[in-house]
């Protein structure tokens, strides 16, 4: 082996440079972080040839004195770290004192700087880390660093550079994150002379989100805010119905620094449990703040990895902040101006709350509308307000912070009476359900019935919609050719058990069968759509984008039995709904319609999507108690062969022969 020698400073610099300067994006990151640390309120980044030609970062920060310019480029030269103890509480972004030295070692650098409040500016050029003389120059206050010919002296690394476009994309992503993390700083980014990002720097996170991530994404966001222990969480998350195809729009910051963290991703997604369609991911821009001593950002030189001291606390803080804001949102459907509230809780309402909150809410008397008599509407942004009002923290999940929800929470108590009364009157007495009993507040802490036992329904529309010339509830069923199947009963409130003449046992999924019937009927479009007028019109808050989508497609909605109108601020006023839809499902149906419309590329595709949603929403559901007459209709449809598969292609019925049963019992 060769003799042991100390590396020459130049080689040492090159090795260190490799750690810090991997690609143009790492240069930009270091230079912009320096600008931020220098207190800049405006930072401009210019890129040519993906950064391989030129990277220029200019700021209006504190600047560097002429005599300090060469010092800034020495290894381990920093103004940010003085004592070993400081390592534990790093509040600035850079601290290793390595970046400028490392960048200079592998490129040709020119720096031009003028200290704030000083007259003289100076410039310095370095080539491969070797500085030239400091020269007097003219420049505005602040610093501009230009990096040219990156890796010109390290051909091995140059070979590994990706295409210019890939490098540009990496820098563009980085600029987005930097801009989001500092809404008080105005960022500009241009590539090959074309500006692609410009944030106002007005200090408003929503302005930064809008400018950096685009209008369409910004419109799908809900503001969130919460706190748990020493961890504070604020920012924005996507509405559940605006789920995305990937995790690319999950942006997390810890103490202002962009990070990638499986823990944070998991906490976010846990908050959406049961609310997102399969294969969809939430998007977010979340700012997590923990005490600087409770996080180690120094575990990786690129510093996008964090290590939390109290992982569970951070997880819980993020999870509950997301969960609570989604729960608040899902109860945000309000009746305007009427004294009686029409509450349209989302179908999955009970799944979005922890048991404690659910229990508390169930004990509250039905809520009065939160809306002021003058018709003031809640807007999306008030979700954050209500979180603050309920104790600043998670409010809803911390028992001690929990307030009675009647005054400040949406407390969506189901009151089905307002919905389908008109239809009720049409039904023969035996098909009418008694008026719903309002749940009175109970003194004790008796847990309410679990969600799956929810039975109160205004009416169960299992009988297929009216055929032309018939009145509702008076259906003449075609006599079947063969002897009808004997209905032995219903099990698990979901499956109808039947026996056919040839000695077979049939299990029919009642929801799937009814969904198929609805689908075929709607698709044929030969029957008039029955509507029910809501006694009190319901205001459904959907967000501007979704509301606009629905309002653009009113004729389509009318074909399905909805009469809606614009109520402003992303809210749609619903006056009529399809007769066979539970009023409690109206809001969720409209939300899904918006998603259907968004995904449909042609009118036909949109119509087909709506059809699927409507068929499903109007179908009786597993878990609901059904009338024997309804079950009979379903069984006859299955027996006649008219209904075989649900619209998604799943079977509606399964058959077991006597032989199969006997085999199971060891008789055959
Ligand atoms: P670090 O940022 O870790 O301290 P750098 O090598 O990035 O190390 O920078 C060295 C020093 O140069 C900084 O500590 C700071 O004092 C000064 N400096 C670098 N960039 C700027 C800038 N844009 N404005 C003002 N001072 C700067
Ligand atoms: Mg630095």
100 Cβ closer than 6 Å to some ligand 1 atom: yes
What pLDDT shows up at residue 169?
85
Tokens 């009418």 found at: 432
Predicted pLDDT at 18: 61
Question: What is the model's pLDDT at position 302?
Answer: 55
Ligand 1 contact, 95 CB (< 6 A): yes
- Protein residue with its CA nearest to atom 16 in ligand 1: 79
SS (H, E, C) 617-654: HCCCCCCCCCCHHHHHHHHHHHHCCCCCECCCCCECEE
Among the bound ligands, the one closest to the CA of 60: 1
Using the mean position of ligand 2's atoms as its centre, give its distance from the Cα of residue 35 in Å: 8
Assigned token pair, 390: 């309920």
**DSSP string spanning 322-350?**
HHHHHHHHHT--B--S-SS------TTGG
Cβ(78) to ligand 1 under 6 A?
yes
Atom of ligand 1 minimally distant from the CA of 96: 3
Element (H, E) at 394: none
The CB of 63 under 6 Å from ligand 1? The reply is: yes
Which residues are close to ligand 2, an ion, with C-beta < 5 A?
A: 34, 94, 99
Pocket test residue of 17, 20, 30, 34 for ligand 1, highest count of atoms within 8 A of CB: 34
Strands 486-491, 504-509: pairing is: unpaired
Query: Tens of pLDDT along 225-272?
Result: 999 999 999 999 999 888 888 888 899 999 888 888 889 999 999 999
Tell me the CA–centroid distance for residue 123 and ligand 2, in Å.
18
Two tokens, residue 520 = 């075929």
Enter the pTM of the model.
0.51
Residue of the CA atom closest to atom 18 of ligand 1: 34
Q: Which atom of ligand 1 is nearest to the CA of 99?
A: 6
| Ligand 1 atom index nearest CA of 93 | 2
Low-confidence ranges of the chain (pLDDT < 70): 1-2, 5-20, 80-96, 297-303, 330-482
CB 61 near ligand 1, within 6 Å: yes
The CA 138 to ligand 1 mean position distance, Å, reads 20
In angstroms, the first-to-last Cα distance of the chain is 81
Is the shortest distance between the CB of 99 and ligand 1 below 6 Å? Answer: yes
CA 124 – CA 363 distance, rounded (Å): 72
Nearest ligand 1 atom to alpha carbon 98 = 6
**Residue 244 DSSP class:** B
Ligand 1 in reach of 77 Cβ (< 6 A): yes
Beta-strand relationship, 186-191 and 42-48: parallel
From 37, 41, 71, 298, the mutation candidate for ligand 1 (largest count of ligand atoms within 8 A of CB) is: 37
Q: Which residues of 27-54 are buried (b: 16+ CB within 10 A; e: fewer)?
A: bbbbbbbbbbbbebebbbbbbbebbbeb
CA distances from 604 to 111, 527, 600, 609, 614 (A): 60, 19, 8, 9, 15
* Ligand nearest to C-alpha 68: 1
Q: Does ligand 1 have an atom closer than 6 angstroms to the CB of 142?
A: no
What was the pLDDT predicted at 96? 62
Centre of ligand 1 to C-alpha 34, Å, is 5
Give the DSSP letter of residue 597: H
Quote the pLDDT of residue 51. 93
Residue 577 bridge partners (DSSP) = 532
Task: Name the residue with tokens 């109808």.
Answer: 496
Q: What would the pLDDT profile of 569-620 be if each residue is shown by its tens digit?
A: 788 999 889 888 888 888 889 989 998 898 888 888 888 889 899 999 888 8
- Give the Å distance between the CA of 101 and the centre of ligand 2: 10
Minimum CA distance residue for ligand 1 atom 2: 94
Mean pLDDT computed over every residue of the chain: 74
Q: Are 258 and 184 in contact (CB under 8 A)?
A: no
Give distance in angstroms: CA of 190 to centre of ligand 1: 23
Q: Which of 31, 79, 86, 116 should be mutated for ligand 1, with most atoms under 8 A from CB?
A: 79
Please indicate whether residue 417, judged by its CB atom, sits closer than 6 Å to ligand 1. Answer: no
Name the residue with the closest Cα to ligand 1, atom 19: 34
- Cα of 195 vs centre of ligand 2, distance in Å, is 25
Distances (CA, A) of 395 to 232, 408, 558: 13, 11, 40
73 Cβ closer than 6 Å to some ligand 1 atom: no
Ligand 1 center–CA 33 separation, angstroms:
9
- Whole-number Å distance, alpha carbon 77 to ligand 1 midpoint, is 8
CA angle 628, 633, 637 (to 5 degrees): 145
What is the side-by-side strand order in the sheet with 563-566?
531-541, 571-578, 563-566
Q: Say yes or no: CB of residue 609 within 6 Å of ligand 1.
A: no
Task: Please choose, from the candidates 76, 14, 63, 13, the residue with its C-alpha nearest in 3D space to the C-alpha of residue 34.
Answer: 63
DSSP 8-state symbol, 184: T
pLDDT tens figures, 552-573: 999 999 989 999 998 887 889 9
Could you say which DSSP state residue 187 is in? E
Of all protein residues, the one whose alpha carbon is nearest to atom 12 of ligand 1 is 72
Sorted by sequence, the CB contacts under 8 Å of residue 92 that are 6+ apart come out as 37, 80
Residue 38 CB less than 6 A away from ligand 1: yes
**Which residue's CA is the closest to the ligand 1 atom numbered 17?**
72
DSSP 281: B
Contact present, 197 and 211 (Cβ < 8 Å):
yes
What's the gap in Å between 258 CA and the centre of ligand 1?
20
Give the nearest ligand 1 atom to 102 CA.
6
Find residue 540's DSSP bridge partners.
Answer: 572
**CA nearest ligand 1 atom 8, residue:** 97
Per DSSP, which regions of 217-305 are E strands? 221-228, 231-238, 250-254, 257-259, 284-289, 295-296
CA 175 to each of CA 145, 162, 287: distance values in angstroms, whole numbers, following the listed order? 17, 19, 17
Encoded tokens for 54: 């030129």
Residue 277 DSSP SS3: coil
DSSP H or E stretch at residue 196: strand 194-198
Q: How many Å lie between the centroid of ligand 2 and the Cα of residue 40?
A: 14
DSSP string for residues in 33-99: HHHHHTT-SEEEEEEEGGGTSEEEEEE-SS---GGGHHHHTSTT--SS--SGGGGGG--SS--SS-H
* Cβ of residue 62 lying under 6 Å from some atom of ligand 1: yes
For residue 80 and ligand 1, the question of a CB distance below 6 A is answered with: yes
Helix (H, G, I), strand (E, B) or coil at 132: coil
What is the distance in A from the centroid of ligand 2 to the CA of 179?
17
Ligand nearest to the backbone CA of 82 = 1
Determine if ligand 1 sits within 6 Å of the CB of residue 64: yes
Q: Give the number of whichever ligand sits closest to the CA of residue 80.
A: 1
**Contacts with 496 (C-beta within 8 Å, 6 or more apart), sequence order:** 487, 489, 490, 506, 507, 508, 510, 631, 634, 635
Given the structure tokens 């003028």, which residue do they identify? 114
Sign of CA dihedral 353, 355, 361, 362: positive
């Amino acid at each position: 082996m060769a003799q042991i020698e100390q590396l020459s400073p130049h080689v040492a610099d090159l090795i260190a440079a490799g750690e810090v300067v991997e690609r143009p994006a790492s240069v930009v990151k270091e230079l912009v972080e320096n600008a931020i640390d220098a207190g800049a309120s405006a930072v401009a980044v210019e890129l040519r040839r993906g950064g391989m030609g030129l990277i220029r970062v200019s700021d209006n920060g504190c600047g560097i004195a002429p005599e300090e310019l060469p010092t800034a480029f020495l290894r381990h030269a920093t103004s940010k770290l003085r004592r070993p103890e400081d390592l534990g509480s790093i509040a600035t972004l850079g601290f290793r004192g390595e970046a400028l030295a490392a960048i200079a070692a592998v490129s040709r650098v020119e720096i031009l700087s003028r200290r704030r409040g000083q007259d003289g500016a100076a410039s310095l050029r370095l080539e491969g880390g070797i500085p030239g003389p400091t020269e007097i120059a003219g420049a505005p206050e602040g610093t501009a660093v230009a990096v040219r010919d990156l890796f010109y002296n390290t051909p091995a690394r140059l070979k590994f550079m990706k295409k210019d476009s890939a490098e540009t994309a990496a820098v563009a992503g980085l600029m987005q994150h930097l801009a989001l993390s500092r809404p008080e700083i105005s960022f500009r980014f241009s590539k090959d002379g074309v500006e692609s990002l410009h944030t106002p720097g007005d200090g408003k996170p929503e302005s930064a989100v809008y400018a950096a991530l685009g209008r369409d994404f910004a419109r799908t966001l809900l503001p969130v805010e919460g706190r748990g222990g020493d961890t504070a969480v604020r920012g924005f998350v996507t509405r559940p119905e605006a789920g995305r195809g990937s995790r690319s729009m999950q942006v997390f910051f810890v103490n202002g620094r962009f990070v990638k963290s499986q823990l944070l991703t998991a906490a976010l997604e846990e908050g959406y449990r049961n609310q997102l369609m399969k294969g969809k991911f939430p998007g977010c821009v979340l700012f997590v703040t923990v005490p600087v001593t409770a996080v180690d950002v120094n575990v990786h030189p690129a510093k996008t990895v964090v290590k939390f001291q109290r992982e569970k606390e951070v997880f819980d803080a993020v999870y509950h902040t997301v969960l609570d804001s989604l729960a608040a949102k899902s109860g945000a459907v309000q009746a305007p101006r009427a004294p009686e509230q029409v509450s349209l809780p989302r179908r999955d309402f009970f799944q979005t709350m922890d048991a404690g909150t659910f229990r508390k809410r169930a004990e509250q008397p039905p809520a009065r509308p939160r809306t002021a008599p003058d018709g003031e509407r809640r807007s999306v942004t008030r979700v954050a307000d209500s979180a603050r009002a309920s104790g600043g923290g998670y409010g809803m999940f911390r028992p001690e912070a929990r307030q009675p929800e009647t005054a400040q929470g949406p407390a969506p108590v189901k009151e089905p009476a307002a919905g389908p009364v008109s239809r009720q009157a049409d039904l023969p007495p035996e098909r009418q359900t008694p008026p719903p009993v309002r749940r009175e507040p109970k003194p004790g802490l008796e847990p309410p019935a679990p969600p799956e036992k929810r039975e109160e329904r205004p009416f169960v529309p299992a009988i297929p919609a009216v055929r032309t010339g018939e009145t509702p509830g008076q259906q003449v069923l075609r006599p079947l050719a063969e002897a009808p199947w004997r209905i032995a009963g219903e099990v698990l409130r979901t499956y109808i058990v039947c026996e056919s003449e040839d000695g077979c046992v049939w299990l029919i999924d009642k929801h799937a069968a009814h969904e198929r019937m609805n689908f075929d009927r709607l698709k044929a479009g030969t029957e008039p759509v029955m509507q029910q007028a809501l006694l009190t019109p319901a205001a459904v808050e959907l967000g501007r984008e979704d509301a606009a989508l629905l309002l653009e497609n009113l004729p389509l909605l009318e074909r399905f039995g909805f009469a809606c109108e614009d109520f402003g601020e992303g809210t749609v006023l619903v006056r009529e709904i399809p007769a066979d839809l539970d009023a409690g499902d109206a809001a969720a149906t409209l939300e899904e319609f918006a998603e259907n419309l968004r995904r449909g590329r042609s009118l036909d595709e949109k119509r087909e999507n709506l059809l699927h949603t409507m068929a499903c929403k109007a179908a009786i559901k597993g878990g609901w108690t059904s009338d024997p007459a309804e079950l009979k209709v379903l069984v006859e449809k299955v027996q006649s062969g008219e209904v075989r598969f649900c619209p998604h292609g799943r079977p509606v019925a399964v058959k077991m022969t006597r032989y199969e049963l006997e085999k199971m019992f060891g008789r055959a």
